[in-house]
Amino acid sequence: MKRISLDDLLHTRQNLAYQEQYEYIMKLLEKGQIKPVKASKSNGKKPALYREYWMVEEQKDYSNYIEEIKYTFSTMISVDYYLAHPNMYEKDRIWVLMLNEYLKKHTLGDDFKIVKDKETQKECVEIRMQGA
């Protein structure tokens, strides 16, 4: 979130009466586009407005990715991280989908070995490529 002063919010509405400026700020608050910085205290006018606000950034809709993660992945892929961080899944998606396709086509056999990562101590799937 970005911090913005009341003066900057009202910059284009300086020529309006205070009551109209107040109503404009109230509409922004109702829409959830801004939130008051309560530590900034009020401007001393009636009705009072805070001197600073947080600009609320619009959240990206990841619902399609979450559905994809929940219902299309091989059970060999742990999806917890990507469910908690859908923005990272968006970045890694092409690679995760390729791994998923590979795992769906191949069974856990000689090509796979479950190992513990030495640094993180998490279980990983080691894939031996054919011809290697």
- pLDDT tens for the chain, 132 residues long, are 899 999 999 999 999 999 999 999 999 999 999 999 999 999 999 999 999 999 998 888 999 999 999 998 888 888 999 999 999 999 999 999 999 888 888 765 556 666 777 787 777 767 766 655
Look at residue 106 in the predicted model and tell me its pLDDT.
74
* Model confidence pTM above 0.75: no
Contact yes or no for 54/35 (Cβ under 8 A) = yes
pLDDT value of residue 77? 85
Give residue 24's pLDDT: 96
pLDDT at 132: 53
What per-residue confidence (pLDDT) applies to 110?
Answer: 59
Residue 109 pLDDT = 59
The terminus-to-terminus CA distance of the chain in angstroms comes to 49
Q: Count the Cβ atoms, other than its own, within 10 Å of residue 26.
A: 12
Return d(Cα 36, Cα 13) in angstroms, integer: 19
